[in-house]
């Protein structure tokens, strides 16, 4: 896969850069999401290069410090409510600013799919859905329900988005964790696909 239509560096160069800022485990997960995203793009007729690159980069900012994320929220004058959340929300929603700064990536569709990969949105593009689902079902994932999620993803991307979001909301509620408003919007927009 060549990503040089979108990046000034080669895929190999990008992998080296990623290895400097994330654990081996996370790099492996990133490669798994790249592969899963390419497969879903083939299955559903999306651009495989965009899907692969978005998959590879989706967790690029996952190991950025809280301090750096708070500085980015100020620098780009993002919604100040973001400061009430944490890394789980920031690494996508704020992470795209780190990706733009570090890599000069400017493709709006790729950036939007990375921005929404954890929280989804009420109107997801095909690429958004592919990255959201690929992150959940890549080969390295092993949790109760992943097999069912993979089966659903092979037949309906909308249903896979609904399944994943319902599981996420239930998981957070069970652990008495707050749920990001955009996640609830995703839930409400997609849950009917599970019926
Ligand atoms: Fe992530
Ligand atoms: Fe991820």
Closest CA to 130 of 95, 156, 151: 156
Side-chain-side CA neighbours of 25 within 13 Å: the count stands at 3
Ligand 2 center to 4 CA (angstroms): 23
Q: How many residues does the chain have?
A: 195
43 token code pair: 């299955």
Ligand 2 center to 164 CA (angstroms): 13
Q: Is the pTM of this model over 0.85?
A: yes
Ligand 1 center to 132 CA (angstroms): 9
Q: How many helices (H) and strands (E) does the chain have?
A: 11, 0
How many angstroms separate the CA atoms of 1 and 22, rounded? Answer: 21
Per-residue pLDDT of the chain (195 residues), as tens digits, is 889 999 999 999 999 999 999 999 999 999 999 999 999 999 999 999 999 999 999 999 999 999 999 999 999 999 999 999 999 999 999 999 999 999 999 999 999 999 999 999 999 999 999 999 999 999 999 999 999 999 999 999 999 999 999 999 999 999 999 999 999 999 999 999 999
193 token code pair: 């696909």
Q: Which ligand has its closest atom nearest to the C-alpha of 133?
A: 2
How many angstroms separate the CA atoms of 184 and 192, rounded? Answer: 13
How many angstroms separate the CA atoms of 52 and 41, rounded? Answer: 9
Ligand 1 center to 59 CA (angstroms): 5
Ligand 1 center to 95 CA (angstroms): 10
Q: Provide the b/e sequence for 84-123 (b: ≥16 CB within 10 Å).
A: ebebebbbbbbbbbbbeeebebeeebbbbbbbbbbbbbee
Closest CA to 159 of 192, 137, 135: 192
């Amino acid at each position: 896969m060549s990503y040089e239509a979108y990046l000034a560096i080669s895929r190999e160069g990008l992998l080296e850069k990623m290895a400097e800022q994330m654990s081996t485990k996370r790099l492996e997960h990133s490669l798994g999401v790249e592969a899963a995203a390419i497969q879903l793009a083939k299955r559903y007729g999306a651009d495989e290069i965009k899907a692969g690159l978005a998959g590879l980069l989706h967790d690029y900012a996952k190991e950025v410090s809280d301090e750096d994320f708070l500085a980015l929220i100020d620098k780009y004058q993002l919604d100040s409510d973001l400061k009430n959340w944490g890394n789980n929300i920031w690494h996508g929603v704020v992470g795209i600013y780190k990706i733009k700064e570090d890599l000069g990536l400017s493709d709006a569709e790729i950036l939007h799919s990375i921005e929404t990969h954890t929280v989804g949105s009420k109107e997801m593009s095909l690429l958004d859905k592919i990255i959201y689902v690929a992150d959940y079902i890549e080969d390295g994932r092993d949790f109760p329900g992943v097999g069912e999620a993979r089966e659903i993803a092979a037949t309906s991307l909308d249903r896979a988005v609904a399944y994943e979001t319902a599981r996420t909301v239930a998981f957070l509620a069970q652990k008495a964790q707050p749920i990001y408003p955009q996640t609830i919007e995703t839930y409400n927009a997609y849950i009917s696909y599970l019926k």
